[in-house]
Structure 1
């Protein structure tokens, strides 16, 4: 079976407060993670919360990268969803972990849009 996309759900722990609480740093790291993985960045939007925290999304031609940070806990919830074979979401995930100064990452890959080989027009749905 073939998947339309790969979705990495990452729990990123032990990150630096000053990075996770800085909207410009988070934005730059997220955009550069997409570029590092070979994605084509289309748009991005980020929001800074009070007293701390940042949420944002980078829309790429291949899908998206999204984040929400809890700087006071050194934690970020990240998802990297890519479609096609051109972009490896793990490259983006590893870039993020490194630049957030993570001590530990727990990440899972979910295959999205599983298709039966030879029947690309029919999606397999398990209910």
Structure 2
């Protein structure tokens, strides 16, 4: 059974999906909706993407979720101030975007002492690339 699309479509990725984990961030930054919204807008700019709309929600007693709708897809930021932790998701399509630059900016802006970045190609990939991707993801999840 194949887990990749079959057909005459060219074997090309359509975009890049970055999963960014930020650790040991200052609590005051993670519970500040205005600061997070500004970081979100700047991250969209750094990714060379087109910001269409943003929305955020401040949870009680703490935590913020902020989303940016991009012409090229989206950026989401979810904070857990009580753990000093932020989960970021950046998906951009198009050859002009640079989501890794947005990730680097967010690591610096939120003063993370540790971070993990996983970058995945999105779209139709060659069977060889798809197999390597599936194997690496399986290994990463199996080692827990």
Name the TM-score, length of structure 2 as normaliser: 0.78
* SS of residue paired to 1:102: coil
Q: 1:59 aligns with which of 49, 56, 69?
A: 69
Where do 4+ consecutive residues of structure 1 move more than 3 Å?
A: none
How many residues were matched structurally? 118
User: Are the equivalent residues in 1 in contact too, given 2:79–2:85 (CA < 8 A)?
Assistant: yes
- Which position in structure 1 is the counterpart of 2:100? 90
CA offsets 1:37-74 (integer angstroms, 9 cap, x no match) = 21111000000000100001101111110011001111
- Quick one: distance in 2 between partners of 1:15 and 1:112? 29
**Structure with the largest fraction of strand:** 1
RMSD of aligned Cα (Å) = 1.5
Q: 1:76 aligns with which of 70, 76, 86?
A: 86
Give 1 or 2 for the bigger CA radius of gyration: 2
- Quick one: distance in 2 between partners of 1:97 and 1:107? 10
User: Are the equivalent residues in 2 in contact too, given 1:4–1:115 (CA < 8 A)?
Assistant: no
- Quick one: distance in 2 between partners of 1:98 and 1:59? 22
Name the TM-score, length of structure 1 as normaliser: 0.88
- Quick one: distance in 1 between partners of 2:38 and 2:66? 11
Q: Unpaired segments of 5 or more residues in structure 2?
A: 1-10, 135-144
**Structure with the largest fraction of helix:** 2
User: Are the equivalent residues in 1 in contact too, given 2:33–2:64 (CA < 8 A)?
Assistant: yes
2:48 equivalent to 1:14: no
Q: Unpaired segments of 5 or more residues in structure 1?
A: 117-123
